[in-house]
Homo-oligomer: A and B are copies of this chain.
Amino acid sequence: MERQRLPGRDRTLKSAWKRYLPVLNWMGRYRSADLPGDLLAGAIVAIMLVPQGMAYAMLAGLPPQVGLYASIAPTLLYGLLGTSRTLAVGPVALTSILVAASVGKLAPQGEQAYLLLAIALALLVGGIQLLMGLLRLGSVVNFISHPVLSGFTSAAAILIALSQVKSLAGIPMPRVEGFPTMLLETYRNLPYINWPSLAIGVAAIFILVYFKTGLEKHLAKLKIRPAWRVPIAKSGPLVVVVLGTALVWGLGLDQRAGVQVVGQIPSGLPRLTLPAFDAGDLGALGSAAATISVIAFLESISVAKALASRRREKVDANQELLALGFANLGAAFTGGYPVAGGFARSVVNFSVGARSGLASMITAGLISLTLIFMMPLFFFLPKAVLAAIILVAVVNLVDVAGLQRVWRYSKADAVSLLVAFAAVLVLGIEGGILAGAATALAVHLWRTSRPHVAMLGRVGDSEHYRNIQRHEVEICPRTLAVRIDESLYFANTQFLESWLLNIVAERPELERMVLVLSAVNFIDASALESLENLVSELETAGVALFLAEVKGPVMDRLNGTGLVKKIGQDHIFLSTHQAMQSLECV
């Protein structure tokens, strides 16, 4: 994480350029051998992104073309600025549902105001991410623990899936918020199912699942060239879009059977737009924008890091924030909505062989061509197919195995997972992640507030001192060696003080106590004061205190404090064995 220091001003300047414009790192060194990989990857991601972009826009309550708009400028900007060479930026499921949840409170879906608010949200998200990047807050996201993120994602996926049931089944039902209401409304509207829609949707799901799971093996059996297998397997969304559209067009199902279709989409590239919003909405939008900024960054950085490390490449969290910030600003100024790095598309980008940001540019170019020439082809695309694409994409996000694993490993961590999961369903997405993060924090404090403390004895004739409860050891009369397995800070000083004083109260014969600090990584001001009190209290009680194995950085800090004066330099030893020797215990 340390920045490398380079000699000379010139190199520093050059390095700063490369630092903030990572495109310079690969542009100059581009080899023609990289081109086929980039071309293929760019094309396949475009094929995935066109239907996904439209589907996620629908999930966000926006017209389908907005999802495509959000796939061009952001993709290009990320390609220039991002440190990952394979992250595919564009609309994703989590941010889409967050957009729907927050904007839905301020304007009804389908109106111009709704669209304008979504665009304004992209502006705010971009601004927040830029600011976080400039303030180098890339590490802030660490404060959301994995279990909380897992619980949050699972619950959000369930909300997303449930919100798609009405499109899949062709039920004409207004959008509602909150899990219980959604469940109830969906149930009450079951009599209005449009069966042809549902049939198309379910068929699309089967095809998509087959493409995802069984197809690659069958292609291998059919001796299809390996280079072709991934492209074919990943074209599932394209296939269901083509089949669904052809079916509805051929049989006239939109007119004859009431199957809802995407309808007319305006052709052409997005225009430059100037995002604007009412100052009165800033409060509601601001908190949503903060949540989306963090969630979008979290999703992007984890994907980028995972892929970069496989090729020993580096990802810089703060530069990623800047790149994502510009990508979102790009979305805002071209009529798009908030974007992030998507998991599935990035993995495809990587595994098909994208070598540089050029792949992203090819993707952006192909989507532009689609917008210019192919929009009329999507007229008869049934909405049930888009719903099926979303459903199959999010079902993997429900992480039951993760819960089982965490539950087996640590009940306390599992509690924070379950709190986040339940809170998302009960309180909604934003409240859920806050409740989860607070629980994770409380769990951490609780865990470190009652540290493991071991009384030590000597192992045979060695210089090793181990826990008397785990090992056969010898102890020294009237002297107690205690190892504290936790840094000392405000949440555990009282526990420790009570523990030690109780030991002293229980053993009237005790005269000397050796604190072994080999696992103490820092001592905060509260603990320092507490230790000073402890020395006085032990002294009054006739017990002398000694320290052993104080770590270098901890000792640096302790030097010159009243504690060291009180204990006395001659009571502080490098090793437990030295302490015991000087106390004539060995």
Interface residues of A (CB under 8 A from B): 1, 139, 141-148, 305-306, 309-314, 317, 405-406, 408-410, 413-414, 417, 440-441, 444-445, 447-452, 467, 470, 485-487, 489-495, 497-499, 501-502, 504-505, 508, 518-519, 521-522, 524-526, 528-530, 533, 537-538, 540-541, 551-553, 557, 560-562
Contacts and interface: CB of A to CB of B under 8 A. Distances in A.
Contacts of A489: 145, 444
The number of times this chain is found in the oligomer is 2
A339 B116 CA distance: 58
A145 B490 contact: yes
Q: Name which of A142, A522, A541 has the most chain B CB atoms within 10 A of its CB.
A: A142
A493 B142 contact: yes
Contacts of A467: 552
A176 to B, nearest CB: 31
Given A139-B449, A312-B505, A501-B309, A526 B495 contact: no
A540 B310 contact: yes
Contact of A504 (B312, B553, B561): B312
Contacts of A451: 521
Given A1-B499, A142-B491, A537 B309 contact: yes
Nearest to A497: B305
Contact of A521 (B313, B444, B485): B485
A410 B524 contact: yes
Given A467-B552, A470-B552, A521-B451, A526 B145 contact: yes
Contact of A452 (B440, B445, B553): B553
A170 B303 CA distance: 70
A485 B549 CA distance: 13
A408 B305 CA distance: 39
Contacts of A317: 494, 498
Contacts of A492: 142
B413 A525 contact: yes
Q: Name which of A314, A441, A498, A530 has the most chain B CB atoms within 10 A of its CB.
A: A498
Contacts of A552: 467, 470
B444 A524 contact: yes
